[in-house]
Structure 1
Amino acid sequence: MELDQKTTLLIKISAAAATNALASLRSAITDAKALGVSNEILRQTVELALEIQQQPLSHTRHLTDQLLREPVKKKAASHDGASSPLHVHGPSCGCGHHHHHKN
């Protein structure tokens, strides 16, 4: 997949804004304006990046780990809600199953 130059610059602007990389942000916005990207599109791109930046990095890491982990072949699901022994449930694992343990 190839991205055109404007799309690539918008991605760079978004990343620079989200990471507070001001030199990169200045360069990418200057280049995007030279290519004819409107100020409104540039503002929207930066605002979206800043909105996304507000999410804690730990949530990003956890979601990325979930989405990129290798699929595990599951045995037939049990009816008691027992989980796979490959995953240890805890208060910060994010899967939601640790709230349903039977005592």
Structure 2
Amino acid sequence: MELDTRTTLIVQISAAVATNALAALRSSVTDAKAQGISSEEIRQIVKIAQDVQEQPQSHARHLLDQLLREPVRNPQKPTPDHVHGPNCNCGHHA
């Protein structure tokens, strides 16, 4: 998938704002102006990126916690003399 130059510059500006990368922001804004993106549009892009940056990270943290949490129940390995039954709860039913 290829992105056009305009979209690439918008993404670069947004990423630079989100990460406070001033050198990258200077470069991407200079390139955007050279490509004909207006100063007002650049201001809007920066404002949107700043608004997103200021949003709470609770949803991302919640998802990350879910993805990285340890299993709730740690299945035990059955002993060699274990007999499987409907209520043995060993987690290793064949």
**TM-score computed with the length of structure 1 as normaliser:** 0.57
Question: Unpaired segments of 5 or more residues in structure 1?
Answer: 70-85, 89-103
Structure 1 counterpart of 2:78: none
Counterpart CA distance in 2 for 1:49 and 1:8 is 15
CA displacement at 1:41 relative to structure 2: 1.0
Closer, same or farther: CA 11–61 of 1 in aligned 2, 3 Å: farther
Residue of structure 2 in register with 1:7 after alignment: 7
**Corresponding residue for residue 22 of structure 2:** 22
- Aligned counterparts of 1:51 and 1:24: Cα–Cα separation in 2: 19
Where do 1:76-87 residues align within 5 Å?
none
- 2:41 aligns to what SS in structure 1? helix
The AA in structure 1 aligned to 2:44 is: Q
Please, which runs of 5 or more residues in structure 2 have no aligned partner? 73-94
- Aligned CA-pair RMSD: 2.3
Note the C-alpha offset of 1:87: 7.2
Shift of 1:59: 3.4
| Residues 61/11 of structure 1: CA separation in 2 closer, same or farther (3 Å cut) | farther
CA distance 1:56–1:23, change in 2 (3 Å): same
User: Mapping of 1:1-103 within 5 angstroms?
Assistant: 1-63=1-63, 65=64
Which residue type is aligned with residue 33 of structure 2?
K
Amino acid at match of 2:22: L
Cα separation, 1, equivalents of 2:57 and 2:19: 11
Q: Which has the larger radius of gyration?
A: 2
Offset, 1:13? 0.1
